[in-house]
Structure 1
């Protein structure tokens, strides 16, 4: 599989960069806000905590849908559609798992983190062209999500479950999304300067 998409026309690339910048920035801010809310609400797996747990993968599902609509036909568009579907299923599954306590929630969240992290890496690799700023924050975020998801499952299986880690996970993901938005903004300004 090629690690780059074919270079889109300048106007199309600029439009896609602008769309991705807004998407990544919004996604990052929402992740950090979610982390702050969840840090205060997860002492018990009650209705508020479960609502927040369901909301987080739904945020990812909506983001994937928006990304899918803004992405030209190709492999990365199919991956974003897949990730959106997986995130929707994860929202349902984590809502059901909430009735069983912390360990089932951590298993579901960890499994989703592995799959969505892998999808994020694939999309980042497909967008590694210079017109999209090499996608390093996306690749690092996706890779960390994959590794951390495995750790969450091991932690849950070992009887040492704690949902404290989810606020850290969301904060880290949010920071990387914001970093990717900043990188895209810098790249857009650099390209405008070159063509001025």
Structure 2
């Protein structure tokens, strides 16, 4: 799942450039999440323990978010929104390292780490989406909903990890849901860009 009042973002070249950049980023991020979910479901199906392939994929998922945050950070003007994006990128990189270590332990440990990361990164995503909630960026409702769900689901993962039979199968559902919300946000930005272009013709 991973990823900013603004007062009024200009509807001219700068606003169009930011929308275009975010549209591509959200679309690619969403598609990668769906592909990851399919891959993880394939390698983990029928296995209670973590194999090398599953551990590698666990590490890759937050790395995708870290790279996305880096790209977003470079395209975002200086301010609190940019700092939150940088924080989220660093957090995701640390989560990848922690998942590498936890994956050598047990599914419960990996689920604990993933859940903790989902909580904090979800909160960061809500904050960034709130800062980008202006009409020129499509109100960011998919981003806000996705971040809020990530926060809540991360809490449930930590509860499940403390139970008797923690399962990592839920992570494929998490990634699929996050991917769908990113794709919806990209489509909303595309619709908004077309709407604004029509107004200026």
TM-score range for the pair, normalised by the shorter chain length = over 0.9
State the SS of the aligned residue for 1:100. coil
Give the number of the structure with larger relative contact order, counting CA–CA contacts within 8 Å between residues 6 or more apart. Answer: 2
Show the counterpart of 2:142. 137
Q: In structure 2, list runs of 5 or more residues that go unmatched.
A: none
SS in 2 for 1:72: coil
1:20-99 mapped onto 2 (5 Å cutoff):
20-42=22-44, 43=47, 44-99=49-104
2:114 aligned to which of 100, 109, 114 = 109
Q: CA deviation at 1:101?
A: 1.4
Relative to the length of structure 2, the TM-score reads: 0.95
- In structure 2, the residue matched to 1:8 is 9
**TM-score, normalisation: structure 1:** 0.97
- For residues 43-92 of structure 1, the C-alpha deviation after alignment (integer angstroms, 9 at most, x for no partner) is 23011110000000000000000000111111110000000000000000
Check the 8 A contact 1:103/1:159 in 2, yes or no.
Answer: no
Tell me, yes or no, if the aligned pair for 2:9 and 2:134 is still in contact at 8 Å: no
Say how many residue pairs are matched.
194
Structure 1 gaps, min length 5: none
State the distance in 2 between where 1:108 and 1:89 align.
Answer: 10
**Which of the two has greater helix per residue?**
1
Q: Measure, in 2, the Cα distance between the counterparts of 1:104 and 1:75.
A: 33
Runs (4 or more) in structure 1 with deviation over 3 Å come to none
In structure 1, distance between residues paired with 2:34 and 2:119:
20
Please report the RMSD computed on the Cα atoms of aligned residues, expressed in angstroms: 1.0
